[in-house]
Amino acid sequence: MKTYIKKSFLAFITLYSFQLIAQHSISGRITDVKNQPLPFANVILLSEQKNSNPKGAVSDEEGNYSFENISEGSYTIEVSMLGFKTKTSEKFIVNSSKTFNFMLKEENESLNEVVVQSKRPVIKQTAEKLVVDLQNSEMLNNSLEDVVKRVPGIIVTNNGISFAGRSDVRILINGKTTDYMDMDTLLRDFPADNIAKVELIEQPGAEFDAEGSGPIINIILKKNVRLGTHGSVGLWIGEDEGFEYGTNASIASYKNKLNWQLNTGYSAPTWRDDLFILRTVDDTTYDQATIEPFDPKRVWVGGSIDYYINDKNSIGFGTRYNNSTSDRTSKSNTDINSPNSFERFVTENTFDRDQNTLSFNPYYEYKTATDKLLIDFNYINFKNENTNDIYAVNGNTVPFTNQRYLQDSKYTINTYKIDYSKTFSENFKLSAGSKYSQVDTDSDLKLFTENTNGDFDFQPDNSNRFLIDENIFALYSKVNASYGDWSLSGGLRYENSNTKGTSVSTNETRTRTISQLFPSASVSRKLTEQLGVNVAYSYRIRRPNYNSLNSFVTVYDPLTSEVGNPNLKPSFTNNYQFNLTFDSQPFFTVAYSETKDNLFLFISQDDATAQISRTTINLKDRENWNFRLFGPLDFIKGLEGFTGFIVDYNKFASDELNPNLLLTKWNYGWYTQASYKLPWAINAEMSSYFGSGALEGQIDVGWIGNLGFSFGKKFLEDRLKVNLGINKVLDRGFVGRVNYDNINANIESNGSRQNVQLRLTYNFGSKFGKKKTKSNSSRDEENRIDSND
């Protein structure tokens, strides 16, 4: 009996061991309807077993594919390729090696195909970010500014971008900084057709730089995902503060292993920023009006190329060049009224500015179904040459020496980055990476004053050259996990920064070293099929920008100047957030942040000279609360979009100033973004925001409102798109008051009114194509969103 049991046991072990090593193969060939091989088709092997990861392969140049070491079981195969209809096999059993051949039909040969498009972008809220997906949207977006306005809660005015009471918003493009760019030009000129998604990241994960106390707007650009060669040309004209116009063109091609694209453009917008200040110093009033027109000329050219070595390895390279020139004149008029006299300052400022930005971005990527490695290098060279003349003109009654400023700035940024992620299962993913940044800046300000002969003499005591050398090294790790209705994201980032600032004029050098850990975490739970909840936390740093560290004194007019502060310290912020979502879309949010050593633009006044000076200081404490309630407008027949209410509270406080500073204010806002289909297939859109008022630093701003409309229609089988935008139909900008210490002033900052633009875009060439499964496809972007990356 024992012998029988022993033999049976040995037979069972032998059979089980044989089953463990009994692995099979699956192979086949992918062709088109003409029996021509289709290289680089995506082949996915899906197992019926629970918790089993899918396997992926790519057909070779002869259309062949294979899977090795496949265990026995039930499977299906899915085959997809750019420009062809996806094909899925019937379920089959693997108990021996199998061969399956597939014939794919071109997409435009598929009959009765229905393409579903939405008039509004798809909006999705996760614990870390809000995502606005524009891939299949028909909304009328002309520029980056139009796209940013589509993000619920974002407000764009002539004073910049703000969100839920915070103006310290950073913009990234594909995760890379734009801090060195002219933000006005970036918002107005960056073409919306290049944008795939916008991420509003309120709780940045460990993979993002810890820089920035406020939210991040990350612009994800489209990559070429179409077979063949295609492109577009565009032209726009408009009227703002005069006639404005621009043009752009792009072309792209994807054949075999090579994918490339080129784009170029030129723009000449016009607008105006006006500043009015009425203030009282003792018994004298100063009534100042500054009219400042802008008419920059901008040209850009860029391109990228990707080469897919094989199904797992690819390399690429991107470059971009921007040039912006501006030759403009602003005029400042100040009436000085006292009981016994009347004086008038009348000056003009001429600006001659030339900005150049050049960037290079090579990369290498390794990717399988479970592993992804990306090695990335980014080089940026930025130059700004600016000549500013301030001189008295007819009507001036106050002695004033004409001045000339020559301000040249150079930035060189080198960034080395490596990111790796490992997907262990559908429920667990681990990421890690490192980044090293080297920034060198050279800011040179030279002051000249006019002598009696009409020549300009150099003033070395009021000139300065400031050099900054900064190095930042970072390491991070992050985990994404899910279990049932729960999901978790947690990360830790370490950054070590060394900054050295040198004033050439005074031969003084200051150094700053910061070593800090930055944790971040989020937890989400699905409550019902439609209702979800998540909470998130992040710890952030905001370093002083390079210009604010320079002890320059920049004079805007005889009574207004700005001075740098080399003693600035970085600020640190704790961010907390609670989200309630409905169908994964934003519904209700509560967020709170507290910042220590907040970087604060401080306004001071010299009573003896009545001069106003602005400088950035460290404010001891800042708090921000915001409450948001949003909902879709789909319940109104034919209407799509969002409406919502935002309530925010700001507090700025410091007991280190004399007198102590304590500023607090609640703001109540209403935001609406809606679209409607008019007769003759015309898409109409409306965007608006109305707020009760907020704090902009020391300035207590009154109610604000803006309203704009857009109309669009397509012609020539959707190849020609015509958009008409009417902006600033209602536009009440920055109207506020400063009442601190010895300052008693009313301030109004407004831009030009009623901007009208007509844009035409014509698309040519290849029209159809499916997304590929490289990292630059929208499928990967959606996977990143689902995993809360």
Q: Is the pLDDT of residue 586 over 90?
A: no
Phi/psi region, residue 120 (left: phi>0; alpha: psi -120 to 50; beta: rest), is beta
Is 754 in contact with 726 (CB distance < 8 Å)?
yes
Nearest to 683 by CA among 649, 719, 722: 722
Contact 615, 603 (CB under 8 A): no
Instruction: Indicate the pLDDT class of residue 151, thresholds 50, 70 and 90.
Output: confident
pLDDT digits (tens, 9 = 90+) for 335-390: 999 998 899 989 898 989 999 999 999 999 998 888 999 999 999 999 989 999 99
Task: Report the chain's mean pLDDT, rounded to a whole number.
Answer: 83
pTM check: above 0.85: no
pLDDT at residue number 118: 45
pLDDT reported for residue 20: 42
Give SS3 for 357: strand
Most distant CA pair in the chain, distance: 126
pLDDT at residue 430 in the model: 96
User: Which domains are delineated in the chain?
Assistant: 2-109 (2.60.40.10), 228-786 (2.40.170.20)
Closest CA to 394 of 426, 427, 346: 346
State residue 122's pLDDT score.
Answer: 67
37/473: higher pLDDT: 473
Once rounded to an integer, what is the mean pLDDT over residues 157-173? 75
Query: Structure tokens of 659?
Result: 């007198």
Q: Which residues contact 643 (CB under 8 A, 6 or more apart)?
A: 630, 631, 633, 670, 671, 672, 673, 674
Cβ neighbours of 200 (radius 10 Å): 22
Give the per-residue pLDDT at 521: 95
> What's residue 550's pLDDT?
74
Q: Are 329 and 358 contacting, i.e. CB atoms less than 8 angstroms apart? A: no
pLDDT tens-place string over residues 515-570: 999 999 999 999 998 899 999 999 999 988 777 777 777 777 778 888 888 888 89
| Cα gap 432→413, rounded to integer Å | 23
pLDDT tens per residue across span 596-642: 999 998 988 888 888 888 899 999 899 999 999 988 887 888 888 88
Arithmetic mean of pLDDT, 464-487: 93
Whether residue 321 is predicted with pLDDT greater than 90 in this model: the reply is: yes
Least trusted range by pLDDT, from 112-116, 152-156, 348-352: 112-116
More confident residue, 61 or 121: 61
Task: Kindly list the distances between the CA atom of residue 465 and the CA atoms of 14, 132, 409, 545, in Å, as whole numbers in the listed order.
Answer: 81, 43, 10, 16
Name the more confident of 622 and 7: 622
Structure-model confidence comparison of residues 535 and 772, the more confident one:
535
Q: One-letter amino acid identity for 300?
A: W
- Pick 784 or 82 by higher pLDDT: 82
Mean pLDDT of 117-142: 67
Is the pLDDT at 146 greater than 80, yes or no? Answer: no
Distance CA 280, CA 287 (A): 9
Residues in contact with 144: Cβ distance below 8 Å, sequence separation at least 6, in sequence order = 186, 187, 188, 189, 190, 191, 192, 195, 219
Contact of 491 with 479, CB cutoff 8 Å = yes
CA distance 659 to 401: 35
* Res. 501 pLDDT band, cuts 50 70 90: confident
Q: What is the pLDDT of residue 181?
A: 59
Q: Which residue has the higher pLDDT, 384 or 48?
A: 384
Span of 245-259, 274-288, 308-322, 538-552 with lowest mean pLDDT = 538-552
Residue 667 pLDDT greater than 60, yes or no: yes
CB 405, CB 447: distance < 8 Å: yes
According to the model, what pLDDT value does residue 13 have?
A: 41
Who wins on pLDDT, 259 or 754? Answer: 259
pLDDT in tens, 742-759: 888 999 887 766 788 899
pLDDT for res 133: 77
Of the given ranges (182-186, 448-452, 457-461), which has the lowest mean pLDDT?
Answer: 182-186
> What is the rounded average pLDDT of the residues 34-51?
79
- pLDDT for 495: 96
What are the CA-CA distances from residue 72 to residues 23, 95, 484, 620, 678 (Å)? 7, 5, 28, 66, 57
